[in-house]
Structure 1
Amino acid sequence: MRRYLFLLAYEPGGWEAAGPEERQAYVDGHDAFHRFVDERGRRISGAPLADADTATTVRHLDGRRVLTDGPFAETTEMIGGYYDVELPDLDVAIEAASLLPPAYAVEIRSVVELDAAGNQVG
């Protein structure tokens, strides 16, 4: 099994503007994703995130810490949630991502496992 992080990006305000049928389609997509992952792997965690305008970005410039309110990058989409899962391979992860609501852009990243000394495992 490999561990993958799914980052869910979408246009702000989509949920608020959605009617009852569209909202149900969102719920159904997440339910289908949950069932798929549970049958083929394991859900480790997942959660919605607060809106990007509540973010604080930390950077280091010239040896000092600089805090900025808001997201790291200017973009029309925002990362609004995530799933941390274990699945057999990237093909299965892509299949799982295709079950999520089509309004999402889903970025899939392999999680790099490190040992206590900070060396990559596997």
Structure 2
Amino acid sequence: TFLVWCNEEDHLRIISMQMGGDLGQVYKRLVTAVNDIEKRVPFSHHDRLGFLTFCPTNLGTTIRASVHIKVPKLAKDMPKLEAVADKYNLQVRGTRGEHSEAEGGIYDISNKRRMGLTEYE
């Protein structure tokens, strides 16, 4: 699945997703599309801040890579789940977006940091 949202949280939100665990394929599809879009509409970039976005939490690489994963034992112990996530600089949210609840022990787990890292980091 590939889609582009216009004028949502940022001017553009470019999404590449699929079922399964092949993050490489998802990333390749995303990069191909972003490069194609940028040929037509250049993105704003700052040497120190990275790509400039309307939402400051998305500055830097702007990439939020997430997986929906079922962790029933950790779901019963939120402080432990949050401690594990903090240790690895991960963000935990419900599968329906920020500030939503998990359903059936399934969480959306994503990278917390976007600034000061390369896309591969």
Regarding TM over 0.5, the answer is no
Bigger radius of gyration among the two: 1
Q: Highest relative contact order (Cα 8 Å, sep 6+), 1 or 2?
A: 1
Say which structure is richer in strand. Answer: 1
Compute the TM-score of the two structures, normalised by the length of structure 2. 0.30
